[in-house]
Every structure is written in structure tokens, then in C-alpha cells.
Amino acid sequence: MTWNLPNILTVLRLLAAPGVAIMFLYFTRPWADWFALVLFVAAALTDFLDGYLARAWKQESKLGAMLDPIADKAMVIIALLVITGFSGMNPWILLPATLIMFREVFVSGLREFLGDTAGTLKVTNLAKWKTTMQMVAIAVLFSTGAFEHYFGMQSFGMDNEIIAGVLSGDIPDELGLIWKYNGMIWSWYIGISLLWVAAVLTVVTGWDYFRKAMPYLKGAK
């Protein structure tokens, strides 16, 4: 194994994947949401950095090629599990998350079955955009959890009339409820929209891989 900087970054990204979930075991919300968001974003940035450095420094290796997609899938799947759990199994999150996880498992199994011929399923530009869209959507949804928790804490004990009055501007907003509410609402809609776009790209790229693998699945050479 070659322990150069690109490979070290890939391994750190792989280790960060379970770390996102662990944040919610050792920290209370909304700190857990922010820590998970920072860890996830930092790890996601290494996805671009390790590949760029490996190509620029001519340090591409079999270890990096093997660990890179595993780290990406582990990050996405674990983060989606956390978000789905804390969303109360909201169908707007559960359905695209299910499609994404199903595709990732299916393509991984397809590559394993193809063995030496798995090289025919090369990562396409659309698949790269798919991964980017997944990570951006997840990062935005982590911020939604933080805004939601801040808004809930700040408005605790207020009845609906008072909250409505603050949000409408009739009552002075001394606690900053308006920007927390707007952050919660806008990040939710943006995150959900991006997650559905990511799910569509995930299904499209999954079908593309399956179509390319069909000749080998039929036994054709």
C-alpha cells in the first residue's frame, strides 16, 4: 500500500463517514447538527482534493481507486440514515433516500459480480455530478436540522399566536425567530429539491451501468 497524501485524505474521508452519526451520540442538538455538517462538508471537500492531487502529482494508486468510491458511498448512506431518522421518516426524504441507497448497493453488487470485467462500468461525468448533488443536498439538510432546533428552543413556551405575531412583524423579534424560521424553511425546500434531483440522477446512472453490464450478464463476450 502507498501512503501518500491523496490516499491519506481518502482514508480520512472513509473514517469520517461513521463520525457523522457518532456526533449525535456524544453531542446534544443543535451542536450535533453543526458538528455533523462541518465534518461532512470537510470530508466531502477531500473527495475533490484527493483526486485532484493524485492526478496532479501522478500518485494514482489501486488503493485510492478502491477506497474512493467506498468512502463516497459510506458517507452518503450513513448521512442519509441519520437524516431520515431525525426527520421522523418523512416520505419526502425517505423515498429519495431509499432510491439512492438501493442504487448504490445494486451497482456495488453488479461490479462485484462482474469481477475483472467491472472496468466496463467506468465512472461517468453524470455519475460524478450525482455524487456532488447528493453531498450538497445532505449538507443543506443537516443545516435544516440545526435551524429547526434553534427555532424550537427559542420559541419554547410561546403559543401559536405569539409566534405568528413575531413572524408577521406585529411583535418585536427580540430572539431572532424570523431568520431562524426562514433558514429552516428555505434550507428544507432547497435540500429536499436537491435530494430529489440527486435521486433522479442516481436512478439514471444506475440504469446506465446496468445497460452497459447486460452483455456480460447474458454471457456475451
pLDDT per position as a tens digit, 7-64: 888 888 899 999 999 998 888 888 888 999 999 999 888 888 877 777 777 777 777 6
How distant is the alpha carbon of residue 36 from its chain centre?
11
First to last CA, the chain: 33
The per-residue pLDDT for 221 is: 47
DSSP string over 33-84: HHHHHHHHHHHHHHHHHHHHHHHHTT---HHHHHHHHHHHHHHHHHHHHHHH
> Quick one: pLDDT at residue 168?
83
Which of left, alpha, beta for 3 (phi over 0: left; psi -120 to 50: alpha)?
Answer: beta
pLDDT tens digits along 116-166:
665 566 777 888 888 889 999 999 999 998 888 888 887 877 778 888 888
Confidence of residue 169 (pLDDT cuts 50, 70, 90): confident
State the Cα angle at 37 between 32 and 43, rounded to 5°: 125
CB-CB contact of 209 with 110 (8 Å): yes
3-state helix, strand, coil in the chain (%, to 5): 85, 0, 15
* Domains contained in the chain, number: 1
Q: Read off the CATH number of the domain in which 192 is found.
A: 1.20.120
Gap between the Cα atoms of 123 and 161, Å rounded: 53
Structural domain including 196 reads 5-217
Q: Supply the pTM of this predicted model.
A: 0.85
Angle ∠(85,88,89) on CA atoms, nearest 5: 75
pLDDT given at position 102: 93
Collect all residues with Cβ–Cβ distance below 8 Å to 178 and sequence separation of at least 6: 166, 167, 169
Q: What's the pLDDT at 19? A: 92
**Higher pLDDT residue, 55 or 104?**
104
Tell me: the pLDDT tens digits for 53-89?
777 777 777 776 778 888 888 999 999 999 998 888 8
Identify whether the C-beta of residue 60 lies closer than 8 Å to the C-beta of residue 50.
no
